[in-house]
Amino acid sequence: MDASVNRIKSSEDEKSLIIGIRFAENSAESVDYSLKELELLVKTAGGGVCDSLVIKRDRIDPAIIIGKGYIDIIGQIIEEKKLTLVVFDLNNIRPAQIRNLEQMLKCRVVGRTEIILDIFAKRARSAESQIQVELAQLKYILPRLKGLGGVLSRLGGGIGTRGPGEKMLETDRRHILNRIHALSVKLKKQQSHRNRIRNGRSGEFTGAVVGYTNAGKSTLVNILARDDLFVEDMLFATLDSYTRSVHLSYGEKTLLTDTVGFIRNLPSHLVESFRSTLEDIRNAAYIIHVVDISAPDIETNIKTVEDELASIDCAEKDTILFFNKKDLLDAGHRENMIVNKYPDAVIGSAREGAGIDALKDRILGLKRAELPGANNNSAYYN
């Protein structure tokens, strides 16, 4: 049986309502921030956000997530604004909850995970990241098959259902398991290819540029390497690792690998699937952690990245914090706070080239410290 027969058409103009759930322990700001991020995610996935709603709850209703009273309110918004999609700011919504809500609201319902999977599916370019995304989709879908009546045909198309995994519509569990197996074998081959490339560079001083999505990692690698990587004001512009050579000073260079961005609540299957890409971080001699200094919730962004780094055993690696997008700050208030809190960080702007020399000096410091007897404790601020 050809699994691609039922390929669905992607819809580029879905009009959606996004809904945040606020539990007693959540602050209004954190729920708002997460909802703003979800809005950007939906837009990146090609949809439009027409309205948003925050609903207070003590707990998730096992059948319909929210209370019955809200169903009418949401139903009215859907009708008035002719919406086609409701997106909950929740991961791992149960299939039964989706089915119940869709029946009551007469509208498609998805969660954060589906949106992120969708973006990854759109962004995946290399053979390796395409396999990784498809694997993540299938692993996400597999345990949900039962709740969907055993087949995937109810998905119906649109945001949250696109990507390589969409080929598996109307396909049964056995088919999906076979496909997962075949993809895993393919991925292993790709990974050994990547390992060979990495080993070829083993003598080089290589760093990894990591950070929250949209922090400016690719822009920074561009300016450091004077190269032309794909930069865009959207989440997850980069899904593949790229390695570039960067001149530090006379006769001294480093290799720098640009990596996929992190985000709060990254679906666990995706983290798992992108492990091989993350291997580039693990194998790096040092890390440049890029932080968007203008982001509303810097501390949570930093913590998200640090937690991910810890989960791949990279917490102890030499790390240079680079606070980017300094040009977006009005007054020096936030900058002073950063300097006080992170005295070793470099503050600059990849777009304007500020802080780049200081950053190169810091890298050079790390490189020289690798040599026996070297002494380099200097810190640079910009």
Residues that bind ligand GTP in the complex, under the rule CB under 6 A: 211, 213-219, 231-233, 235-238, 261, 324-325, 327-328, 349-351
Beta carbon of residue 254, minimum distance to ligand GTP (angstroms, whole number): 18
Binding partner of residue 284 among ligand GTP, Mg ion, none, CB cut-off 5 to 8 Å per kind: none
| Residue with smaller CB distance to ligand GTP, 101 or 237 | 237
Q: Which does 34 bind (CB under 5 to 8 A by kind): ligand GTP, Mg ion, none?
A: none
> How far apart are the C-alpha atoms of 366 and 207, rounded to whole Å?
10
Whole-number Å distance between alpha carbons of 78 and 82? 5
Sheet arrangement for strand 252-258: 242-249, 252-258, 206-211, 286-292, 318-324, 346-347
Contact 339, 381 (CB under 8 A): yes
Helical ranges in 91-172 per DSSP H: 95-105, 112-123, 127-141
Closest to Mg ion by CB, 14 or 37: 37
Least CB distance to ligand GTP at residue 246 (A): 15
The Cα–Cα gap between 188 and 184 comes to 6
For ligand GTP, the closer CB: 140 or 242: 242
Q: Which is nearer to ligand GTP, 97 or 301 (CB)?
A: 301
Q: How many CB atoms neighbour CB 312 within 10 A?
A: 13
Tell me the closest approach of the beta carbon of residue 25 to Mg ion, in angstroms. Answer: 33
Which residue's CB comes closest to Mg ion?
Answer: 238
Q: Which of residues 197-256 bind Mg ion (CB under 5 A)?
A: 217-218, 237-238
Going by C-beta distance under 8 Å and a sequence separation of 6 or more, which residues neighbour residue 345? Answer: 320, 321, 322, 323, 338, 339, 381
Q: At 295, list the tokens.
A: 């982001």
Half-sphere exposure of 222 toward its Cβ, with a 13 Å CA cutoff? Answer: 15
350 binds, among Mg ion, ligand GTP, none (CB under 5 to 8 A by kind): ligand GTP
Count CB atoms within 10 A of the CB of residue 346: 25
> Shortest approach of ligand GTP to residue 120 CB, angstroms?
11
Q: How far is the CB of 204 from ligand GTP (least distance, A)?
A: 22
User: What residue type is 274 in one-letter code?
Assistant: F
User: Which does residue 360 bind out of Mg ion, ligand GTP, none, counting CB within 5 to 8 angstroms by kind?
Assistant: none
Pick between residue 109 and residue 309 the one whose CB is nearest to ligand GTP. Answer: 309
Please give the structure tokens belonging to residue 74.
């949401």
CB-nearer residue toward ligand GTP: 158 or 261 = 261
Sign of CA dihedral 300, 235, 185, 1: positive
Closest approach of Cβ 224 to Mg ion, in Å?
13
**What is the b/e burial string over 239-275, where b = at least 16 CB atoms within 10 angstroms of the residue's CB?**
bbbbbbebebeeeebbbbbbbbbbbbebbebbeebbe
Report in angstroms how near the CB of residue 158 gets to ligand GTP at its nearest: 23
Task: Output 254 or 349, the one with its CB closest to ligand GTP.
Answer: 349
Query: What secondary structure does DSSP assign to 349-365, as a single string?
Result: BTTTTBTHHHHHHHHHH
Q: Is 277 a binder of Mg ion (CB under 5 A)? A: no
Which one, 171 or 259, has the nearer CB to Mg ion? 259
Which residue sits closest to ligand GTP, CB atoms considered?
261
- Cβ closer to Mg ion: 34 or 218? 218
CA nearest neighbour of 55 among 21, 87, 23, 32: 21
**Of 214, 244, 239, residue with least CA distance to 228:** 244
Q: How far is the CB of 347 from ligand GTP (least distance, A)?
A: 11
Q: Where is 33: in which H helix or E strand? A: helix 28-44
Measured from the CB of residue 311, what is the shortest distance to Mg ion in angstroms?
21
The footprint of Mg ion (CB under 5 A) covers 217-218, 237-238
